[in-house]
């Protein structure tokens, strides 16, 4: 079973509280999401492999750890996932970026894929799927399934806010995928929105309704 990692940190908690506030502007919401993504990135990448490389300091030549030259791909689930990309790229400017577009039916809450674009050879890479909200889990399950069908085997999922229902759905469908979240909220309302949540992340990022 893939692990569930709740990244608890005072800075993340304080910034997330500001994001939850309905009066927070889109501009501030985007900035806070970027900042939290950077903070979460330290834990998400904790088990990345390193190798020793020879470096000449001002004093002597010695060996020190550097990241193993793996292929990393950040995959936002459109459109809200885009809000987490810049923060992770601050930490990993060498990463590639792919995109998966999923739209949720307002009646059935079932997502449908409408866009898919990945860097060449991504199936050999370490893939980080990002989406601020893990609600029913449908989008995450479908996105991960789509990646696996195309040969990807090393996937981790990163969400800002999740609920038990969404976590359970992903773990059932993809027990090999590690999940990283900043908070686990109470559950879903009748419209499949997270409670207490922070509203529609896409709308709040881009100032739409």
Among 166, 160, 172, 165, residue whose Cα is nearest residue 197: 160
Q: State whether the Cα torsion 45-141-118-34 is positive or negative.
A: negative
Q: Residue 64 pairs with which residues in a beta bridge?
A: 53
Task: Say which residues have a Cβ less than 8 Å from residue 72's Cβ, sequence separation at least 6.
Answer: 92, 94, 95, 96, 125, 126, 128
The residues that are catalytic are: 104, 108, 200, 203
């Amino acid at each position: 079973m893939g692990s569930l990692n709740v990244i608890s940190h005072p800075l993340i908690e304080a910034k997330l509280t500001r994001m939850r506030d309905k009066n927070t502007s889109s501009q501030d919401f985007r900035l806070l999401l970027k900042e939290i993504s950077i903070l979460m990135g330290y834990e998400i990448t904790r088990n990345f492999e390193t190798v020793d490389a020879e470096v000449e300091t001002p004093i002597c030549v010695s060996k020190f750890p550097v990241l193993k030259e793996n292929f990393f791909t950040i995959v936002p689930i459109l459109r809200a996932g885009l809000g987490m990309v810049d923060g992770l790229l601050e930490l990993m400017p060498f990463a590639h970026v792919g995109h998966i577009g999923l739209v949720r039916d307002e009646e059935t809450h079932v997502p449908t894929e409408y866009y898919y674009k990945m860097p060449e050879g991504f199936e050999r890479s370490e893939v980080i799927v990002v989406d601020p909200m893990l609600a029913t889990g449908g989008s995450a399950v479908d996105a991960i399934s789509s990646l696996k069908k195309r040969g990807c085997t090393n996937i981790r999922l990163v969400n800002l806010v999740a609920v038990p229902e969404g976590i359970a759905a992903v773990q059932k469908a993809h027990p090999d995928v590690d999940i990283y979240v900043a908070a686990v909220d109470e559950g879903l309302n009748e419209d499949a929105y997270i409670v207490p949540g922070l509203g529609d992340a896409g709308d709040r990022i881009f100032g739409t309704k």
